[in-house]
């Protein structure tokens, strides 16, 4: 879906900002402890990778 | 944003990227095997300890140092570090107090027998070449600082990329990849999408890389300020002729800091100690504190405790920049994610280069961009 009216900045940067925050949280948590926290960090760092994979899967052909 | 502003940011993005891209490609490519250096080295090196009875008493650190010195006669001890999970110490020796790395010898010594398990003086292997290309391109400190500056340019390129992401996406929803029209448009969308999703990782790994390139000046600054204050009464004293016991120095340091364990010992005269002291670098016992090192200074002539101070903020930043840059603090899955993000970064760099070349070659694809965006995209895609 391509919106017609120009998007406000919040709409443009909302998802990217969320991905950036999750990435940052993933980078920091693994520093604090081992074990369960490491798994949280793997999940968080998967988010940018999955977002890229999702965008590629849904590309306009 | 006015078209003028967009144009200015576009120029910043274009030139900072163009200058650093070749070096960033080099860093991403050499960094890829370095992420897995532990695993790769485990494949090639002998890592199993020879079997010995479980309760074999450990020899002293002094005996381990003596073994290393007997192997490299005429050299002096520089560092002694402890392996995490096995009774092995790594003793570094060299011809002087601060020789170039190429003249140092590192011996991994089994503390149960003081036998040398391996010398870690790999200065020709594939991984060593990757490391040197990654750290300083075989150009020493100037090379290191140069790559640090390139990392700073990458940071500016990333920020300016975020700014000009907005005009591109004014009429596109997040993650749009228009792969069915022109090749250039497909790579433009991929460049924007990959750039924005990897943003935080690229910024953190980039900036911590920059901090790591400042290691030599930062340590020199610490040595001439903090360390100098700690050892003020010893100012001007030469390196002692004979050193007191290393074991006793470690015991004294651990008594002064209950609950902490030694990570490594810097001998008198080296970069991480004074001319007159053993610096016993202690780490905390919990996962959150074991990355934070505190040096305890022990008089290397008398074995007396001199001082212990926690590190200033810039040394903590330097210390924390290592795991955040290497990605070695969350097991193998984290390393794999690090590698995937590294490859995505290579795609961003490569597509950026392609877009610059394609833009120079032809301007006809502009019309394929979303209607109404022509001026902004035309400017921003430059």
**C-alpha to C-alpha distance for B93 and B76, rounded to whole angstroms:** 5
Q: Does B285 touch chain A (CB under 8 A)?
A: no
Does residue B234 contact residue B301 with C-beta atoms inside 8 Å?
A: no
Smallest CA-to-CA distance from B282 within B311, B304, B261, B258 is with: B261
Does the distance separating the beta carbons of A2 and B171 come in below 8 Å? Answer: yes
- Of all residues in chain A, the one with the smallest CA distance to B168 is A12
Using a CB–CB cutoff of 8 Å, tell me whether B214 touches chain A. no
Identity of the residue in B165, B204, B331 whose CB atom sits nearest the CB atom of A27: B204
- CA torsion, points B78, B84, B88, B92, in degrees to nearest 10? -20
* Residue-wise pLDDT tens digits, A21-60: 999 999 999 998 888 899 999 999 999 999 999 999 999 9
Strands ordered across the beta sheet of B105-110: B115-119, B105-110, B88-94, B76-82, B261-266, B277-283, B293-299, B305-308
Report the pLDDT value the prediction gives residue A4, as an integer from 0 to 100: 64
Rounded CA separation B77/B52 (Å): 28
- Percentage, residues of chain B above pLDDT 70: 93
For the stretch B280-328, pLDDT in tens is: 999 988 877 888 899 999 999 999 999 999 899 999 999 999 999 999 9
Structure tokens at B335: 């390393």
Interface of B with A in 120-159 (CB under 8 A): none
**B204 CB near a chain A CB, below 8 Å?**
yes
Q: Which of chain A's residues have a Cβ under 8 Å away from the Cβ of B198?
A: 48, 52
Contact yes or no for B171 and A4 at CB 8 A: yes
Contact A46 B175 (CB under 8 A): no
Interface test with A, best of B172, B187, B188, B196 (most A CBs within 10 A): B196
Q: Which of B22, B248, B304, B39 is nearest to B154 (CA)?
A: B22
pLDDT of residue B285: 84
How large is the C-alpha radius of gyration of chain A? 15
Its ipTM equals 0.94
At B152-190, the pLDDT tens digits run 999 999 999 999 999 999 999 999 999 999 999 999 999
């Amino acid at each position: 879906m391509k919106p017609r009216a120009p998007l406000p900045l919040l709409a443009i940067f909302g998802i990217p900002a969320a991905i950036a925050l999750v990435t940052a949280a993933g980078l920091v948590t693994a520093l604090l402890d081992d074990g369960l926290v490491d798994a949280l960090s793997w999940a968080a760092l998967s988010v940018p990778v999955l977002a890229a994979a999702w965008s590629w899967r849904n590309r306009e052909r | 944003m006015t078209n003028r502003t967009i144009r200015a940011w576009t120029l910043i993005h274009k030139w900072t990227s163009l200058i650093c891209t070749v070096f960033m490609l080099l860093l991403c490519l050499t960094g890829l095997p370095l992420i897995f250096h532990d695993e790769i080295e485990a494949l090639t090196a002998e890592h199993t300890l020879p079997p010995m009875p479980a309760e074999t008493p450990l020899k002293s650190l002094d005996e381990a140092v003596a073994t290393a010195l007997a192997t490299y006669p005429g050299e002096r001890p520089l560092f002694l570090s402890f392996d995490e999970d096995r009774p092995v110490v790594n003793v570094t020796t060299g011809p002087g107090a601060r020789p170039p790395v190429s003249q140092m010898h590192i011996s991994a010594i089994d503390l149960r027998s003081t036998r040398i398990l391996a010398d870690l003086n790999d200065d020709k292997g594939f991984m060593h070449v990757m490391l040197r290309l990654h750290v300083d391109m075989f150009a020493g400190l100037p090379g290191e600082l140069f790559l640090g500056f390139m990392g700073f340019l990458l940071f500016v390129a990333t920020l300016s990329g975020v700014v000009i992401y907005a005009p591109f996406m004014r009429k596109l929803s997040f993650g749009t990849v228009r792969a069915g029209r022109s090749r250039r448009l497909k790579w433009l969308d991929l460049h924007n999408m990959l750039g924005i999703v990897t943003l935080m990782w690229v910024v953190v790994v980039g900036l911590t890389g920059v901090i790591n390139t400042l290691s030599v000046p930062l340590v020199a600054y610490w040595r001439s300020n903090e360390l100098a204050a700690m050892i003020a009464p010893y100012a001007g004293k030469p390196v002692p002729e004979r050193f007191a016991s290393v074991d006793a120095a470690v015991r004294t340091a651990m008594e002064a800091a209950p609950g902490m364990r030694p990570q490594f010992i810097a001998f008198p005269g080296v970069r991480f100690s004074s001319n007159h002291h053993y610096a016993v670098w202690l780490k905390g016992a919990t996962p959150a504190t074991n990355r934070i090192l505190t040096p305890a200074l022990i008089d290397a002539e008398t074995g007396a405790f001199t001082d212990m101070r926690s590190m200033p903020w810039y040394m903590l930043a330097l210390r924390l920049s290592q795991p955040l840059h290497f990605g070695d603090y969350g097991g193998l899955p984290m390393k794999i994610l690090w590698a995937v993000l590294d490859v995505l970064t290579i795609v961003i760099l490569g597509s950026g280069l392609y877009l610059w070349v394609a833009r120079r070659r032809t301007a006809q694809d502009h019309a394929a961009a979303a209607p109404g965006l022509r001026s902004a995209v035309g400017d921003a895609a430059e």
